[in-house]
Each structure stands twice: as C-alpha cells, then as structure tokens.
C-alpha cells in the first residue's frame, strides 16, 4: 500500500538524518513532506479537513459500512497510522515542524471520522 511504504520511508529518512547528519536526506524528505502538505491542503479544500491518504475516502467508507470490503485498500487505518508515524518522526528526528502540524490535522480528521461512525 502506497501510504504504508511512504510512512516507512519518512521514518527511515528521519532516522538516517538523526544518526548521520546527512543534509541531502533531510532536504529530500522535507521536499516530500511539503508535497504531502499540499495534498492535505487539497483534501481540506475538497471538504475533508486534515485528511491525508493516498487513496480515496472511499477506503474508509467501504470499511465502515456493512458489509465492508477491501476496495481500494483493506487496512486504511493501518496505512493512515504509518503515514502519521512517518510524519511524526520527521518532526521528532529531523526537526520538520510541518510534519507535526500535519499529524495534528490528520488526528483531528481521524477523531471526527470515528465519532461519526459511533453515532
């Protein structure tokens, strides 16, 4: 799943920077975080504030509504979590404050989504 791999990459590149000080890794990962921030902004403009996911919101809708299915991805919350973890590592290990802001927005979307399912 695309977001799963991307989350691992963001974590790994943050760890690499933290352990080696390699600024080319830092700059490349910061570029990716900025691109993701632009995507998150686009989702916000489309009515899903804070949402950031490489697949349509349909992945969550399909999971949360009977009978549930695996289209386009079977484990959207796992993928979402991996992306959040990677962005948090970018903040904690590589000092990218944008990563933290994005995680907070993603958490806000997740909270809203879960609350709507529980109603």
Reported as a pLDDT band with limits 50, 70 and 90, residue 108 is very high
pLDDT of residue 52: 96
Q: Is the pLDDT of residue 84 over 80?
A: yes
pLDDT of residue 63: 83
Reported as a pLDDT band with limits 50, 70 and 90, residue 69 is confident
CA angle 52, 113, 36 (to 5 degrees): 5
Separation CA 3–CA 116 (nearest Å): 23
Separation CA 72–CA 9 (nearest Å): 22
pLDDT of residue 1: 59
Average pLDDT of span 24-45: 97
Q: Are 96 and 30 in contact (CB under 8 A)?
A: yes
Q: Are 112 and 47 in contact (CB under 8 A)?
A: no
CB atoms within 10 A of CB 92: 14
Separation CA 108–CA 49 (nearest Å): 8
Q: Is the pLDDT of residue 103 over 80?
A: yes
């Amino acid at each position: 799943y695309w977001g799963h791999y991307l989350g691992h990459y963001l974590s790994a590149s943050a760890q690499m920077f933290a352990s080696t000080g390699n600024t080319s890794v830092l700059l490349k990962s910061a570029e990716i975080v900025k691109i993701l921030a632009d995507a998150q902004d686009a989702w916000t403009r489309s009515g899903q504030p804070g949402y950031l996911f490489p697949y349509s919101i349909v992945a969550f809708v399909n999971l949360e509504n009977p009978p549930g299915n695996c289209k386009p991805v079977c484990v959207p919350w796992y993928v979402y979590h991996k992306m959040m973890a990677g962005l948090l590592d970018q903040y904690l290990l590589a000092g990218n404050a944008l990563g933290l802001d994005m995680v907070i927005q993603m958490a806000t979307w997740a909270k809203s989504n879960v609350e709507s399912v529980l109603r």
